[in-house]
Structure 1
Amino acid sequence: MTMMPPVPPVPFSRDDALPEQVSFDRAELGLILSLYGRMVAAAEWRDYAMSFQPGLAVFAVFRRTAENPLYRIEKRPKLRMKQGMYAISGEAGQVLRRGHDLAAVLKVLEKKLIRPID
């Protein structure tokens, strides 16, 4: 009976590697939560949820807890060199704004705070 020599392990290639978990950093969360606080004070938003997945981070805002999200603030680093890694999606899934700068992208939601005074 002959024994076979041990087979060395095959290293994983870069293509097989799992995408890195994406999250918002402290500065990004500061911008988002500042807007969220102002919208809660204006009684526009009531709840939020965050989701961190490989390749995507989402901050979803709700008018009521049991609804679909009113808006989704998304971060997709893969789109950094293309359209921009930040995007705001509406309730029906339409992209309201996309860009490279989170503060500029969030301005589309800040317009909701401006109301005429009667």
Structure 2
Amino acid sequence: MSATVTPFPQRAPLQVGFERAELNRILDLYGRMVAAGHWRDYAIQLGRDAAVFAAFRRTAERPEFRVEKRPALRNRQGMWALVNEAGAVLKRGHELGPVLAPVERRLMKLVED
């Protein structure tokens, strides 16, 4: 008797999400910004093309920063992007840490004041 293995067909995921380590890193920064009194709210949007973490100074405003994960750009300029309130990309890269660096530098300035 011979066994035949039939693989499941590969499909693209229905939505992009954050892995636990990625979300921990982002939420750690968010918590430090809240403790510094700068951010007050956040939102997470999980879509077919991207996962977005948005941080707000006040709830009713546009987000001050958005951290976007776009796996389709993994082999090009990098799947991570830091986007400011006006929609301009401040930093893009393959690793999350360097993309969050401008916000972490800003946090150091907030704590020093």
The equivalent of 1:82 in structure 2 is 76
Task: Report the CA distance shift for 1:117/1:89 in structure 2 as closer, same or farther (over 3 A).
Answer: closer
1:51 aligns with 2:36: no
Match of 1:95 in 2: 89
Instruction: Indicate if the aligned counterparts of 1:87 and 1:105 stay in contact, CA closer than 8 A.
Output: yes
Return the TM-score normalized by structure 2. 0.85
Secondary structure, in 3 states, of the residue corresponding to 1:114? Answer: helix
Question: Partner residue of 2:64?
Answer: 70
Structure 1 CA distance for aligned equivalents of residues 33 and 83 of structure 2: 17
Task: Give the 5 Å matches for 1:19-30.
Answer: 20-30=14-24
Distance 1:92 1:102 in 2: 21
Q: Distance in 1 between matches of 2:42 and 2:66?
A: 10
User: What is the count of residue pairs matched by the alignment?
Assistant: 103
Q: CA deviation at 1:113?
A: 1.2
Instruction: Output the aligned Cα RMSD.
Output: 1.8
Unaligned regions of 5+ residues in structure 1, if any?
1-13
C-alpha separation in 1, matches of 2:34 and 2:102: 16
Q: Return the alpha-carbon distance in structure 2 between the equivalents of residues 113 and 33 of structure 1.
A: 14
Task: Give aligned-pair identity as a percent.
Answer: 57
Counterpart in 2 of 1:110?
A: 104
Amino acid at match of 1:82: R
Cα 1:40–1:76 shift into 2, 3 Å: same
Deviation sequence 1:26-69 (CA, Å, 0-9, x none): 00001000000000000111100000000110000000001111
Question: Aligned with 1:59: secondary structure?
Answer: strand
Q: Note the residue ranges of structure 2 that are not aligned, 5 or more in a row.
A: 1-9
Under a length normalisation based on structure 1, what TM-score does the superposition of the two structures give?
0.81
Query: Which has more radius of gyration?
Result: 1
